[in-house]
């Protein structure tokens, strides 16, 4: 994912990083974006199907994105140190099959991974599209989140990366 489009290997798997979910962070995120009772109120959460406080799914997804960006930044720095060119950063057109198989609880640490599923060229010669499966597993080995996502990645060609 960090390389140019041409360098990306189908099936390649990568550990992106981990994120700790404190009670305070769960409640703070939810107060701002998803203030449902089971994300902000320990007592009220006991009566929900979650049977206790859990993080907003958007919080668990946002942390995945943060780990993706941090992993990419580390890889770019490594390439820079070798004096190699940097691939342009693209955007993502979307995500499919996003699931939260298990709730993320206060104190949980989720480790995120992704795997290259496929890739294809686009109409624009400077960009390729990469299809990934991205998932997060908590400290008990239970899956907290999984999704199929896509991203535009710069092609090597003979272009000069803008960054």
Partner 1 sequence: MLYFEDFPVGEVIVFGDKLVSAEQIVAFATEWDPQPFHVDAEAAKASQIGELIASGWHTGAMLMRMMCDAYLLDSASEGSPGIEEMRWQKPVRPGDRLTVRRTTLSARASRSRPAIGIVGLQFDVNNQHGETALLLKTSAFLRRRPEIAP
User: Which one, of 161, 89, 150, lies nearest residue 120 by Cα?
Assistant: 150
**Contacting range for partner 1; rule: CB under 8 A; set: 5-13, 78-86, 98-106, 107-115:** 98-106
3-state SS string for 4-72:
CHHHCCCCCEEEEEEEEECHHHHHHHHHHHCCCHHHHCHHHHCCCCCCCCCCCHHHHHHHHHHHHHHHH
Query: Of the two residues 8 and 45, which places its CB atom closer to partner 1 in the complex?
Result: 45
Stretch that binds partner 1, among 78-86, 96-104, 108-116, 135-143 (CB under 8 A): 96-104
Site string for partner 1, 26-65 (x = CB under 8 A): ------xxxxx-x---------xxx-----xxx--xxx-x
C-alpha 108/C-alpha 34 separation (Å) is 19
Distance CA(53)–CA(32), nearest Å, equals: 16
Query: What is the closest distance, in whole angstroms, from the C-beta atom of residue 47 to partner 1 in the complex?
Result: 10
* Residue 122 touches partner 1, criterion: CB under 8 A: no
Bridge partners of 115, per DSSP, are: 13, 133
Q: How many chain residues bind partner 1 (CB under 8 A)?
A: 35
Residue pair 104/29 in contact (Cβ under 8 Å)? The answer is no
**Contact mark string toward partner 1, 128..147, x via CB under 8 A:** --------------------
Question: Is 98 near partner 1 (CB under 8 A)?
Answer: yes
CA angle 119–1–6, rounded 5-degree value? 55
CA angle 4, 7, 13 (to 5 degrees): 105
- Determine, following the binding rule CB under 8 A, whether residue 85 of this chain makes contact with partner 1: no
Nearer to partner 1, 20 or 69 (CB): 69
Residues binding partner 1 (CB under 8 A) = 32-36, 38, 48-50, 56-58, 61-63, 65-66, 69, 88-100, 127, 152, 162-163
């Amino acid at each position: 994912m960090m390389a140019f489009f041409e360098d990306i290997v189908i099936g390649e798997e990568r550990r992106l990083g981990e994120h700790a979910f404190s009670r305070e962070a769960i409640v703070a995120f939810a107060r701002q974006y998803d203030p449902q009772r089971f994300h902000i109120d320990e007592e009220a959460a006991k009566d929900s199907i979650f049977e206790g406080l859990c993080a907003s799914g958007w919080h668990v997804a946002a942390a995945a994105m943060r780990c993706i960006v941090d992993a990419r930044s580390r890889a770019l720095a490594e390439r820079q140190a070798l004096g190699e060119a940097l691939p342009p950063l693209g955007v993502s057109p979307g995500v499919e099959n996003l699931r939260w198989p298990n709730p993320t609880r206060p104190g949980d640490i989720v480790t995120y991974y992704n795997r290259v599923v496929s890739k294809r060229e686009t109409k624009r010669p400077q960009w390729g599209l990469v299809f990934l499966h991205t998932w997060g597993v908590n400290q008990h080995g239970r899956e907290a989140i999984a999704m199929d996502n896509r991203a535009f990645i710069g092609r090597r060609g003979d272009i000069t990366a803008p960054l």
